[in-house]
């Protein structure tokens, strides 16, 4: 079947119930999305499907139904970072980094929909993304910085 990821079309020969995360990591070698739990409890595998944040461990590749997948590899480039990535570097958010691709993808989806989120909204949206290193205060600050950056452009 065909899968669209980061603007490219890939042909994969997998069963329709394989989680998208497996397809990305094991079939396509796109390893930005991380495996944390496999049961929607941690958010490490978050990608966008047609602009909506989705836990890729919970979406069967057959249920993509032609949707456009965006992973952190396609969010920005080293030369033109996404505002969320810039803010993450400025705030030095990451500690071990394992959860961070999911955090960044979730934050980018949040700001697409809610350009100037309150603390309450940030907490509600980001609470499904766990960080075992406890970088939460920096995540919240970086989301605000990214929101300001996006409003300036």
Output Rg (C-alpha) for the chain, integer angstroms. Answer: 15
115 or 137: CB nearest ligand FES: 137
| Long-range contact set of residues 4-10: C-beta below 8 Å, sequence gap at least 24 | 4/66, 4/67, 4/68, 4/69, 5/30, 5/69, 5/70, 5/71, 5/74, 6/30, 6/69, 6/70, 6/71, 6/73, 6/74, 7/74
Give the residue, chosen from 5, 42, 54, 108, that forms a contact with ligand FES under the rule CB under 6 A: 42
Site for other proteins in 66-105 (CB under 8 A): none
Q: Are strands 68-70 and 46-49 parallel, antiparallel or unpaired?
A: antiparallel
The verdict on 59 binding other proteins (CB under 8 A) reads: yes
Give the residue, chosen from 62, 97, 115, 137, that forms a contact with ligand FES under the rule CB under 6 A: 97
* From 39-47, 66-74, 105-113, 140-148, span contacting ligand FES (CB under 6 A): 39-47
Cβ atoms < 10 Å from Cβ of 62 = 13
CB of 39 to ligand FES, least distance (A): 7
Tell me the two tokens of residue 65: 């139904």
Site for other proteins in 114-143 (CB under 8 A): 114, 121, 123-125, 127-128
Give the residue, chosen from 53, 69, 70, 94, that forms a contact with ligand FES under the rule CB under 6 A: 94
The verdict on 5 binding ligand FES (CB under 6 A) reads: no
| Site for ligand FES, rule CB under 6 A | 35-38, 40-45, 55, 57, 94-100, 131-133, 135
């Amino acid at each position: 079947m065909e899968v669209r990821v980061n603007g490219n079309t890939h042909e994969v020969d997998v069963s329709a119930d394989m989680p998208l995360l497996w397809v990305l990591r094991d079939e396509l070698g796109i390893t930005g999305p991380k495996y944390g739990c496999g049961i929607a409890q941690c958010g490490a595998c978050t990608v966008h499907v047609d602009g909506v944040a989705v836990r890729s461990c919970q979406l069967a590749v057959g249920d993509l139904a032609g949707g456009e997948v965006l992973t952190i590899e396609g969010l920005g480039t080293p030369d033109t970072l996404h505002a969320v990535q810039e803010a993450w570097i400025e705030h030095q958010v990451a500690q071990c980094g394992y959860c961070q691709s999911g955090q960044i993808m979730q934050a980018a989806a949040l700001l697409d929909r809610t350009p100037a989120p309150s603390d309450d909204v940030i907490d509600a949206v980001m609470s499904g993304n766990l960080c075992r290193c406890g970088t939460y205060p920096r995540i919240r600050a970086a989301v605000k910085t990214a929101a300001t950056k996006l409003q300036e452009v």
